[in-house]
């Protein structure tokens, strides 16, 4: 995060560089596209505005002319964005990690992490490794040299059961109004000032071997620091650092010119969740970026975390007294309240399914519940006194909360739902298929014996999708590549695919191959549609949508199994999909309308894809890489869609903390 001379704020956000206006009323994208990038490789392109590509940039800096410099971390580059939004590469070679000096592409960087620019246009960049953490210097002409070969005297360490692994973490850089470079060192737990020839002076903290740091305020030599998240100067040329105290909770501290250190703002009401500090908006608990505004207030980026996913992201302004106000971003609105319309609350709703009476079942992952939404928007909770079921009996916890050691394997989008014409509700929990009839849950089938073979398959035994046809047969997909059919007598038989290493092959029944199939749906003619390719990162089988006829003949409806995850509309075989993965926390869902059009959620790119009956793939809902909510004329904007269901000419989509309704043309 960096501030321009006119008071605009530039922010690295995902794979984009965004900008907050001087009046703090408008957020826009300066450059880059925000799509997920597959592991490995690069996401690199120079160009104007949204045509440019970045890969996980971690820091930005702004010069006096309004140019923005970007530490394009995963691409191993330093990029420059002109005031008009044109992106060029200042130095480095895309995808190449190194520390070679030179001009432009002849130089190399390795995960550049912090960046600063002085009033002469000289750029400084920090990086780290197991043996050194240099500060690199780049002239306006793109000539790269090593300013400091090893910024820290002592290594930090990554904890392991066998002891710490020495690691030199990158230092955090900032430049004062006189052009002096400062570095907050998370390894030595000190703050240094550098002269033009690279001579270092410790400004605050004490350099000692085996120094574990602390959070003590006081004069320069008495001050203690743990690590750092951000550094910035105020209008009075005083350095401020954002970093954790001894409890691990963030503080904002001021370092005067003589090194005297004072804590200005301290986080409050923080908790730990899975070892990660969390807290509601306005507590500073999750702050990770900071600049100091002209009036002395602090603008910080905060994010909400819970249940293995981010719940909100905000920019907030803090006074030196600790009072905060929201500047940009919506707060999290999760909850468990029943009610009508906007008075109801959800927490990460996922799978959706209609029962014959027209009520919509909603898997409410965060609350460990199943909710019902009526046509008039009234939301109730199964198992509560005013719910569709006043009490759920039998295997209720397994059905509602997905209890079990591996039941959260698919995380955010787990617990698919299906209904039959008799109104029975089905789900899966690990290898078990569960049925709820008249509010009593029973075990329909245990697939574990069928999934356990002598052939090694690099997948868990989890069932991953479920659907029911018009005759009452239930179909279950499994991550190991087999799709089973459970008939009305409860007898289980292999329907398509087999328990085998992941692959892709069309064909009849067991001759077909799948690569970790996921959610399913069924059309009026009892054809099944299956999301396939949840293992694409592991076994390099691209995401596709498969079709299975009632006789078990498998074909590829759309997508390219030989291509990586991506986004491309067009003819069926040329279309590209992103469907998530078994470890991504978000996976695609399916629905089919009365005309035979198939709809696919893409929570990664925040869009809904449509596969028409002629095979053409389009994007009718949502806009690529735009996250949020904007109602009105399609395509609108939706945020990370999870579950989907279609009834008549209306589509229903679950998104974080809400269920949306979309009128189809």
Q: What is the 3-state secondary structure (H, E, C) of 381-410?
A: ECCCCCCCCCCCEECHHHHHCCCCCCCCCC
- If residue 531 lies in a helix (H) or strand (E), which one and from where to where? strand 528-532
Helix (H, G, I), strand (E, B) or coil at 511: helix
The β-bridge relationship of strands 393-394 and 440-446 is: parallel
Q: How many Cα neighbours within 13 Å face the side chain of 50?
A: 8
Cα–Cα dist 46/1, whole Å: 21
**Alpha-carbon span 15 to 347, nearest angstrom:** 26
Q: Report the pLDDT value the prediction gives residue 39, as an integer from 0 to 100.
A: 53
| Residue 254: both structure tokens together | 């001021």
Question: Is the whole model's pTM more than 0.85, yes or no?
Answer: no
Q: What is the pLDDT of residue 306?
A: 55
d(CA 301, CA 310): 13
Which single residue is written with the structure tokens 């130095």? Answer: 91
| Residues 132, 91 contacting (CB under 8 angstroms) | no
* Cross-strand pairs, 370: 363
651 DSSP 8-state letter:
E
Cα–Cα dist 154/190, whole Å: 11
Q: Is-contact 556 562, C-beta < 8 A?
A: no
Give dist(CA 577, CA 563) in Å, integer: 9
Q: Looking up tokens 């033009």, which residue turns up?
A: 196
pLDDT more than 70, % of the chain? 92
Give dist(CA 429, CA 578) in Å, integer: 24
Contact 20, 26 (CB under 8 A): yes
pLDDT at 269: 87
DSSP 161-219: TT-PEEEBPPPEEEE-TT--EEEEETTTTEEEEE-TT--EEEEES---TT-------BS
The maximal CA–CA distance of the chain, rounded, in angstroms, is 83
pLDDT of amino acid 276: 76
Q: CB within 8 A of 60, min separation 6: which ones?
A: 1, 2, 10, 11, 12, 17, 68, 69, 70, 71, 115
Structural domains in the chain plus CATH codes: 1-150 (2.120.10.30), 173-329 (2.120.10.30), 339-663 (2.120.10.30)
What stretches in the chain show pLDDT beneath 70?
34-41, 158-164, 274, 305-311, 331-332, 403-414, 456-458, 536-539, 581-585
CA terminus-to-terminus distance, the chain: 42
- How high is the pLDDT of residue 68? 97
DSSP state of 292: E
C-alpha torsion sign, points 492, 498, 502, 508: negative
List beta partners, residue 506: none
HSE-CB at 298 with a 13 A cutoff on CA atoms is 32
């Amino acid at each position: 995060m960096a501030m321009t001379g006119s008071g605009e704020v530039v922010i690295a956000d995902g794979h984009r560089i965004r900008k907050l206006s001087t009046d703090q009323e408008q957020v826009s994208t300066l450059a880059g596209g925000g799509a997920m990038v597959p592991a490995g490789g690069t996401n690199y392109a120079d160009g104007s505005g949204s045509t440019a590509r970045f890969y996980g940039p971690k820091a930005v800096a702004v010069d006096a002319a309004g140019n923005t410099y970007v530490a394009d971390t995963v691409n191993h580059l330093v990029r420059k964005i002109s005031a008009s939004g044109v992106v060029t590469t200042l130095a480095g070679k895309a995808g190449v990690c190194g520390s070679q000096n030179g001009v432009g592409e002849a130089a190399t960087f390795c995960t550049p992490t912090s960046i600063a620019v002085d009033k002469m246009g000289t750029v400084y960049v920090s990086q780290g490794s197991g043996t050194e953490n240099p500060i690199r210097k780049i002239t306006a002409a793109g000539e790269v040299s090593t300013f400091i070969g090893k910024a820290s005297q002592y290594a930090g360490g990554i904890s392991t059961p066998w002891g710490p692994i020495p690691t030199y973490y990158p230092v955090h850089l900032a430049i004062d109004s006189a052009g002096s470079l400062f570095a907050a060192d998370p390894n030595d737990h000190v703050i240094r000032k550098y002269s033009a020839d690279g001579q270092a002076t410790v400004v605050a903290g004490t350099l000692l071997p085996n120094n574990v740091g602390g959070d003590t305020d006081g004069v320069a030599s008495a001050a203690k620091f743990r690590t750092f998240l951000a550094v910035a100067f105020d209008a009075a040329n005083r350095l401020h650092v954002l970093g954790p105290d001894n409890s691990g909770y963030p503080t904002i501290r001021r370092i005067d010119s003589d090194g005297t250190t004072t804590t200005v703002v301290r986080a409050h009401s923080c908790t730990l969740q899975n070892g990660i500090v969390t807290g509601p908006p306005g507590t500073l608990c999750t702050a990770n970026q900071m600049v100091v505004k002209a009036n002395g207030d602090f603008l910080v980026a905060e994010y909400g975390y819970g249940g293995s996913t981010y719940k909100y992201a905000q920019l907030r302004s803090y006074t030196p007294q600790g009072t905060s106000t929201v500047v940009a971003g919506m707060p999290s609105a999760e909850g468990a309240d029943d009610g009508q319309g906007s008075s109801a609350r959800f927490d990460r709703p996922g799978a959706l399914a209609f029962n014959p009476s027209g009520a919509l079942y909603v898997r409410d992952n965060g609350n460990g519940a199943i909710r019902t939404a009526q046509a008039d928007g009234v939301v109730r909770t199964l198992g509560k006194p005013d719910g569709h079921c006043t009490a759920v009996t039998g295997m209720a916890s397994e059905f509602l909360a997905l209890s079990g050691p591996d039941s959260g394997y698919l995380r955010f989008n787990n617990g698919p739902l299906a209904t039959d014409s008799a109104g029975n509700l089905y789900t899966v929990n690990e290898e078990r298929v569960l049925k709820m009839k008249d509010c009593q849950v029973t075990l329909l089938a245990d697939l574990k014996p069928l999934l356990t073979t002598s052939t090694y398959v690099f997948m868990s035994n989890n069932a991953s999708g479920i659907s029911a046809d018009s005759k009452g047969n239930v179909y279950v997909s499994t991550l190991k590549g087999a799709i089973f059919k459970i008939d009305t007598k409860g007898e289980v038989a292999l329907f398509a695919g087999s328990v085998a290493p992941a692959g892709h092959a069309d064909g009849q029944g067991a001759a077909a191959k799948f690569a970790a199939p996921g959610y399913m749906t069924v059309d009026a003619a009892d054809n099944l549609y299956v999301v396939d390719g949840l293992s694409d990162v592991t076994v390099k089988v691209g995401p596709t949508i498969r079709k299975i006829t009632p006789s078990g003949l498998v074909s590829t409806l759309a997508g390219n199994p030989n291509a990586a995850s991506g986004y491309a509309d067009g003819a069926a075989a040329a279309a590209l999909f992103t469907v998530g993965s078994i470890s991504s926390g978000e996976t695609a869902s399916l629905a089919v309308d009365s005309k035979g059009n198939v709809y696919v959620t893409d929570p990664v790119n925040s869009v809904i894809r449509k596969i028409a009956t002629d095979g053409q793939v389009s994007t009718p809902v949502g806009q690529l890489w735009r996250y949020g909510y904007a109602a009105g004329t399609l395509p609108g904007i939706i945020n990370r869609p999870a579950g989907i269901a279609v009834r008549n000419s209306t589509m229903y989509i679950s998104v974080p903390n809400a269920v949306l309704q979309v009128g189809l043309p």
